[in-house]
Amino acid sequence: MKSRNVCRWRLVRWSGALRVVVLVLCCCLQGVAAWAQEMDAPVARVNGETISQRELVNRLLADYGEGILDQLITELLVAQEAKRLGINVTDVDVDQRLRKQAAQLPEGTTLEEFLRKQNPPIGMTTYREILRMLLRLEKMVEKEVSVTEAEVVQFLRSRPDLAEQPEQIKVEGLVVRDRKLADELYQEASRRKQDFEKLARLYNNRQQRVDRVELGWQRSGTVLEIPPNAAKGYVSPPIEATPGTGIFWIYRVVDKQAGRKKSLEEAKKAAREALLELKLADKASERLAQIRKQNERNIQKMLPQRN
């Protein structure tokens, strides 16, 4: 239960700053100038009367404009600092963090369901941008974070669940940026039972964009595309990680382990990793506040004020 509460605390912490962020609103704010001439176009008809795009945008700006603009400013500030430091976060990095967070949720709960239950609900596309910002911040401060042996022991006492090892599957993935190619790779992997490293090398030689990602050991049932009873060698059909991104994942079960009790050293390692993540989140939050403060004078808001 503590594990689930810690997971919820971590997710809500970063999603709480975006309580009013909805993807469609961001699109409206960013695109106002581009389609200003179409503002009178209808977006709905009710009993013959129309609701115009202008009415919709004006309402969204009035109710949510300030909050969304502030979040966009924060994301841009972090992106600018990351660029200055040579820090890069890829879509694959974001996908891996999404998978990791989904694995920490209560059994039977998807990340999409969790985000929909926030007030107001948060879309997956928006949440990906939250994670991208978080990953950039973490890379900025990762060398500043450490834990002591005493802290690990104390943390392990508060998290006895870290000493238990549930049934696990070792997973590798292929990241493909074309649906037709993803289907072809799936058929090839299913038919020949080839490991993904060889497939990625083969198709990259054909000047295709295919990446092989080692996802490591995952708790059975937490990779939703893989059935809980999947055997070693199982290959999942391609699935678009987030609708509209054009990035498809194919998963393969490389190995499987039955549940067991961890050794003391294994339990300490799990506790150290979990504690490092918590400390990293705290340090990243501090760095974010620092970035905002350093750039206060460089921010000019030009959102129209409405009575």
pLDDT score, position 7: 52
C-alpha closest to that of 195 among 185, 207, 184 = 185
Q: Are residues 27 and 137 in the same domain?
A: yes
Tell me, yes or no, whether 87 and 127 share the same domain. yes
Q: Are residues 121 and 93 in the same domain?
A: yes
Report which of 137, 116, 174 is spatially closest to residue 283, judged by C-alpha positions. 137
Report if residue 266 sits inside a domain.
no
Number of domains in the chain: 2
In terms of average pLDDT, the best of 119-123, 152-156, 226-230 is 152-156
230 and 85 housed in the same domain: no
Residues 224 and 251 in one domain: yes
pLDDT tens per residue across span 229-266: 888 989 999 988 777 778 899 999 999 988 899 999 99
Residues 113 and 10 both lie in one domain: yes
Tell me the C-alpha distance between 196 and 173, whole Å.
7
Residue pair 135/94 in contact by the 8 Å Cβ criterion: yes
Residue 155 in domain: no
pLDDT in tens, 23-60: 444 444 455 445 555 778 888 999 998 998 888 888 88
CATH number assigned to the domain comprising residue 231: 3.10.50
The answer to the question of residue 305 being in a domain is: no
Domain boundaries, position 239 = 167-258
| Whether residue 197 sits in one domain with residue 99 | no
Quote the CA–CA distance of 196 and 224 in Å, as a whole number: 19
Average pLDDT on 184-189 reads: 88
Same domain, 130 and 187: no
Contact 248, 225 (CB under 8 A): no
SS3 262: coil
Helix (H) or strand (E) holding 15: helix 2-15
Tokens coding 161: 């669940």
Q: Provide φ and ψ at 120, rounded to 5°.
A: -80, 170
Secondary structure of residue 124 in the 3-state scheme: helix
Q: 177 CB contacts (<8 Å, ≥6 apart)?
A: 209, 246, 247, 248
Task: Looking at the structure, tell me whether residues 133 and 25 fall in a common domain.
Answer: yes
Q: Quick one: CA dihedral 258, 259, 265, 269, positive or negative? A: positive
Asked if residue 263 belongs to a domain, the reply is no
What is the pairing mode between strands 248-257 and 239-240?
antiparallel
pTM above 0.85, yes or no: no
Whether residue 86 is found in the same domain as residue 181: no
Query: What backbone torsions phi and psi does residue 238 show, to the nearest 5 degrees?
Result: -65, 140
Residues 248 and 280 in one domain: no
191 & 283 share domain: no
Residue 159 lies in a domain: no
Asked whether residue 37 is assigned to any structural domain, the reply reads yes
Residue 304 inside a domain? The answer is no
Cβ contact 133:75 at 8 Å: yes
**CB-CB neighbours of 251 under 10 Å:** 27
Q: By C-alpha distance, which of 31, 224, 25, 43 is closest to 122?
A: 25
